[in-house]
Amino acid sequence: MPKTIKVYTDEDANPDLVRGKPVAIIGYGSQGRAHAMNLKDSGCEVIVGLRDGSSTAAKARADGLTVMPVAEAAKAASLVALLTPDMSHEAIFASEIAPNLEQGDAILVAHGFTVLYERIQPAAGIDVILVAPKGPGDLVRREYERGAGVPCLFAVRQDATGEARDRALAYASLIGGTTAGALETSFREETETDLFGEQAVLCGGATELVAAGFDTLVNAGYQPEIAYYECLHELKLIVDLLYEGGFEKMHEFVSETAIYGDLVSGPRVINDETRARMKDVLTDIQDGTFARNWIAENEAGKKKYDEMQAADLSHPIEATGKELRGLMAWLQSDEKTSREAA
């Protein structure tokens, strides 16, 4: 029998381990704002650390939060959550955070990339922990506000105080993670599985599958608008079913014809060759090849990155989709609501 992983809930956490001292949130993007607001509403003293001239400082102050330069925020707090983009961590940590940490403080990240690949290396006396909500910041905030939460992963890389694990679990509880259920992992497992999921399934795999399906239909003479509906638009309907109830719910709500096509044709598209390519992707992640390449690309100014992204966004499905989405009134309403919430 496979081992059953323990799901940690509110009863397993002691939020006072974090709530008793100031918490610094470095960065006020999607995750930064969600963490800061949830911590504030959970009774924490929250300081938002931002660079001079940050465009999000006014938003943080409007949300009722104290804003300081990064170095001052790190010095004032006992737990520092570094929630800026991965490639900014090294410079921010070295110049603004590390010099202002004291023995027994904690540094927290929401993704283990820069810690696992040693782009930041906290001193021996610092707890190094991870709390990774399994959803975007907007969802983390919305679920907290309605008394629910988004599941979290938590991990410890360095336990200097003997309380690192409990601090991570406490932080997870304060942002709503233990209400939904928190799972314990390691920095390596979180980082490698997250990178693999993004590359092979969620982002790289999904967009390539959609584009390939669209191209196949259009090249066979079908109208691009019809191909868009079949290969992209309806994907949300299927993903929602999978999200809510797995394969079983999807099979319950699609036709028998769709199920038969799934069973006989799915393995023709995702086959042993596909699985071998997925294993190659995972190997590149596990042996550090992906990390080295991405770090080098970033340090070189991201020219190739920008070229690849431009090519991706110039695919014909983008123009077709933009035109069709403009006719979908409910999408315009959802976008307006999202902007107002932000």
Report the catalytic residues. Answer: 111
What stretches of the chain show up as alpha helix (H) in DSSP? Answer: 16-19, 30-41, 57-62, 70-76, 89-92, 113-116, 137-145, 164-174, 177-180, 187-196, 204-219, 224-228, 235-253, 256-269, 272-286, 289-299, 303-313, 316-325, 329-341
Q: Supply 214's token pair.
A: 């669209």
Tell me the C-alpha distance between 282 and 290, whole Å.
9
Q: Which residues pair with 169 in a beta bridge?
A: none
Q: Which positions ≥6 away from 7 have C-beta within 8 Å?
A: 181, 182, 183
Residue 153 neighbours by CB under 8 Å, 6+ apart: 130, 131, 132, 134, 182, 183, 184, 185, 190
Residue keyed to tokens 């027994």: 104
Say how many Å lie between the first and final Cα of the chain, rounded: 45
From CA 57, how far away is CA 320, in angstroms rounded?
A: 37
Q: Which residue has the tokens 């930064």?
A: 32
The two tokens of residue 95 are 């110049």
Alpha carbon distance 171, 158 (integer Å):
16
Record the tokens describing residue 198, joined without a space. 């993004």
For Cα atoms 23, 120, 165, give the angle at the middle one, nearest 5 degrees: 50
Q: Is the dihedral of CA 123, 31, 111, 310 positive or negative?
A: negative
318/329 Cα distance (integer angstroms): 18
